[in-house]
Structure 1
Amino acid sequence: MSEIELLKINDFENKEFDHSFYANSIGNHLLQHHSRIEKAHKHNFYAVFLFTQGSGIHEIDFQKYDVKPGSVFFLYPGQTHSWELSDDADGCLFFHTEDFYEMTYVSNSIKDFPFFQSNYSDKCIYLNKEQSLVIENFFKHILKEYTADEWKKRQLILSFITQVYICLNRYLEKNTEIKTSNFRHYQAVFSKFEKLVDKHFKKIKSASEYADLLNITQKHLNRIVKSITNKTTTEIITDRIILEAKRQLLYTDLTLTEIALKLGYTDYTYFSRLFKKNVQIKASDFRKLYKNKT
């Protein structure tokens, strides 16, 4: 079995944006790319989906979300996801590369928006009717500009995208238990911590070593992590290991021992206990369970 399929933005129809931006209705996108979305895949771009009708399930890195009118999903590059959608599912979507956004704005970054900042940020928000109409209107403007040939269309599309992101972040801050506005500094440090974990989790599994890399005390790192995620630093490291283990179990033919070694565990028995403790089933049973679903 090969590694999970990586979809690139130039795999989709692209209108004069150097393969850096794509927009469509969900209905048309499904008609054109239906065979791609049912299998688990990942992207090399940022993606936002607004559903205005239909139902189903959206699975993002083994976390399942209900699809219903008013649901908005955020994906950043590298996340694994798949869909199970009803035949009447529809709405709007847009995809863009990091450069499409950041090469235009000098002082703005895509990572300014918390839903693209962390594995622990919300990947779905359910809007009420009023909120959904506001966001849908922005999507319609984006799609209209995308399909037109007008002066400064890129700049106008970017303006609409930024308004979408700002409005969605405001809605999230009203709904989330973590008040992002109260933890700007903590968010910045936590984002650096996550990047370090992503880079080093196969070799570095100690909370104190990550604190050293960040030039802060382990106690301060624990305080930051707890404030953002309500988890310990060690739990965040373990979560990343388990996520990668799940991906390897599902999308490769590596043996359990080979996966353990790839993740930095020479003692398979220890790795096996760690997996079962966190997932509540054995690694071999997890692989069988998901293979039976596909």
Structure 2
Amino acid sequence: MEEITILQMRDLTDEVKGADFYANTIPQHLITNHNHVEKPHRHDFYVCMIFTQGSGTHEIDFHSYEIKPGAIFVLAPGQTHSWVLSDDIDGYIFFHTQEFFDLYFVRETIREYPVFRSSYYPNGLIIEGQDKLILESVFKRIAEEVDGNRWKKNTVLVNLASLLYIEFNRLILAGDSFVAVSNLQYNNHLQHFEDLLEKNFQTEKSAAVYAEWMNMTQKHLNRVCKTLVDKTTTDIIIDRVILEAKRMLIYTGKSFNEIGSMLGYDDYSYFSKVFKKKVGYTPKEFLKKYN
């Protein structure tokens, strides 16, 4: 059976092999890595890009975003994405490993940024005016820094990347759909919950069990989830299961029964009911509609 391709840094161009940070213009990136990026795929590294010219669509975990000048996207490891681009596309792209970022920041982790902390924050934005000019210049500086070999090169790169992530997340939190929550403890709880969920969603669906693993009551975990992303704990668990089901349905060619079983549902009819309640279609109807 076909699996979703998971790209690693070493899978890209020869110049990337062994590197922890890569940057390029988008046209040049597409030329040198065309065989790897033309199909839907995941990465095991962080990706950030901005489009300065052209048009198209960018699909990230079944959310479709418009591509136009000023479109900026940030992806965490494990997210599935694909795109359709016009011939006149232009812009900048960079990516790096988790280790590259963590090596330079002792008191800060990349997972603290909302877009990397929770799947409920958008991966794409359209920026305009002064924000667009500033962030384009940062991307350009990153590309120039990668091409050179000046003193403290990696320190400059990690600080420029951090600046971009901060500005991107500020724009997200300033949007109408999100409320910036200053409660660091709540943020840490949500991150801990989603870390546990990522490792266990195929075998454990009980909100009470996750709360127990986190040494808190289910009521308190539910309060954390509702406050930060306006979802119940169970909603978040099922959303993660359904996302993986969609990925497997579209990209792997596995049978419906096999997918249900891999996600912890031995009774396919029950899995189908759960899927339809959340998506509005049965797995078979969803696959037909999506294709």
Tell me if TM exceeds 0.5.
Answer: yes
What corresponds to 2:152 in structure 1? 152
Q: How does 1:199-218 map to 2 (within 5 A)?
A: 199-218=199-218
Contact 2:50–2:73 (CA<8 Å) still a contact in 1? Answer: yes
Could you state the TM-score of these two structures normalised by the residue count of structure 2? 0.94
Quote the Cα distance in structure 2 between the aligned partners of 1:15 and 1:9. 10
1:81-230 matches, cutoff 5 A: 81-230=81-230
The equivalent residue for 1:21 is: 21
Q: Distance in 2 between matches of 1:14 and 1:180?
A: 42
3-state SS of paired residue (2:174) = helix
State the alpha-carbon separation in 1 of the partners of residues 238 and 73 from structure 2. Answer: 25
Q: Secondary structure at the match of 1:19?
A: coil
Q: Is the 8 A contact 2:13 2:33 kept in 1?
A: no
1:21-48: CA deviation from partner (whole Å, max 9, x where unpaired): 1000112112222343231100010000
Does the CA-based 8 Å contact 1:15-1:147 persist in structure 2? no
Identity %: 44
For 2:36 and 2:158, locate their aligned partners in 1 and report how far apart those are by CA, in whole Å.
27
Aligned to 1:79: 79
67-76 vs 281-290, which moves further? 281-290
Distance 2:110 2:152 in 1: 21
Shift of 1:78: 0.8
The amino acid across from 1:197 in the alignment is: L
Runs of 5+ in structure 1 lacking a partner?
none
1:4, CA displacement in angstroms?
A: 0.8
The one-character-per-residue Cα deviations of 1:211-235 (angstroms, maximum 9, x if unpaired) are 1111111111111111111111111
Q: Do the aligned partners of 1:26 and 1:90 also contact (CA within 8 Å) in 2? A: yes
Q: Does 1:2 align with 2:2?
A: yes
Contact kept, 8 Å, 1:13 with 1:22, in 2: the verdict is no
Partner secondary structure for residue 180 of structure 1: coil
Q: Deviations over 1:176-232 (max 9, x none)?
A: 532334343222111111111111112211111111111111111111111111111
Question: For residues 265 and 133 of structure 2, what CA distance do their matches in structure 1 show?
Answer: 50
Question: Aligned in 2, Cα 1:110/1:176: closer, same or farther, shift over 3 Å?
Answer: farther
TM-fit CA distance, 1:112: 2.1
Which whole-Å CA distance do the structure 2 matches of 1:117 and 1:54 have between them?
Answer: 30
Secondary structure of residue in 1 paired with 2:266:
coil
Partner of 2:55: 55
- SS of the aligned residue for 1:22 comes to strand
* Partner Cα distance (1:217, 1:45) in 2: 34
Cα separation, 2, equivalents of 1:255 and 1:212: 34
Deviation by residue 1:158-187 (Cα, 9 ceiling, x = unmatched) = 221122222222222222532334343222
Provide runs of 4+ in structure 1 moved above 3 Å.
13-18
Q: 1:63 is matched by which residue type in structure 2?
A: H
| TM-score calculated relative to the size of structure 1 | 0.93
CA–CA distance in structure 1, aligned partners of residues 87 and 34 of structure 2: 11
Structure 2 gaps, min length 5: none
Shift of 1:148: 1.0
- Counterpart-to-counterpart distance in 2, 1:70 and 1:122: 15
Deviation, structure 1 residue 270: 0.9
